[in-house]
Amino acid sequence: MKWLLTKRTPPITRVLLIESGPRELCQRLIPRLRAAFGDDLAIDLLTCLPDNPPGLREDAAVRRTLDAAGAAERWALLRALRRERHPVAAMLCAGDAIMRPWRFALLAMLRAKFLIVNENADFFWLDRGNFGAILQFLLKRTGLRDPFAARTLVRLAAFPFTLAYLLAFAARVHVVRALRLARPGQAD
């Protein structure tokens, strides 16, 4: 996330499309990216699906997360993507859990300017200039913009206290049991 604090954009010659959402969204996005950034835009793909989406050119570099089964292969794939130095990475964020760990790892590791793509194939830059859009996006994804937002906030506030109570109760039960077992002649 090299470009997070600036509104500037790098020269857009190649895009890494991170297909972490439904295939239909990717199919709608590819023509929109070419319309926005030029027909000669090179689009590479990182996907978890076994086939390529329509509209992707034959010369596109395609990486599959399915090929990286172990931790060593996953790290090797992340390092290879970092070495490719894509100036822009378009990440599908349609509210699905598809490739969620990959999304976070790619956000942390790639030195690209990120385009965040929603479920309508609309996109915006992940930078300080779009802070309002990013905030609204996060509020919607976390459920804090719906009618049950107050309930969600109360649950978030109550969680530490509930966890502390349950841990204290479990500790008390185990201490009482240990004391009973430590007394001679007592059975459990």
What CATH number is given to the structural domain containing 116? 3.40.50
Task: Extract the tokens encoding 177.
Answer: 């049991």
What does the CA dihedral 133, 95, 109, 70 come to, rounded to 10 degrees? Answer: 180
Q: Which amino acid is at 101?
A: P
Range of the domain at 22: 14-142
Q: Is residue 131 located within the same domain as residue 181?
A: no
Q: Is 5 inside a domain boundary?
A: no
Regarding whether 152 and 67 lie in a shared domain, the answer is: no
Give yes or no: residues 153 and 96 share one domain. Answer: no
Query: What pLDDT was estimated at residue 187?
Result: 57
| Per-residue pLDDT at 163 | 96
Q: Which residues of the chain have a pLDDT value below 50?
A: none
Residues 122 and 156 both lie in one domain: no
CA 146 to CA 140: how far, in whole Å?
A: 7
Q: Are residues 39 and 122 in the same domain?
A: yes
- Summarised one tens digit per residue, pLDDT across range 59-85 is 888 998 888 888 899 999 999 999 999
**DSSP 8-state code for residue 55:** T
31 and 52 housed in the same domain: yes
Q: How many domains would you assign to the chain?
A: 2
Q: 66, 113, 68: which is closest to 89 by C-alpha?
A: 113
Rg of the chain, C-alpha, whole Å: 23
Backbone angle region of 121, left / alpha / beta, with phi > 0 → left and psi within -120 to 50 → alpha = left
> Encoding tokens for residue 50?
């076994």
Task: State the pLDDT at residue 172.
Answer: 97
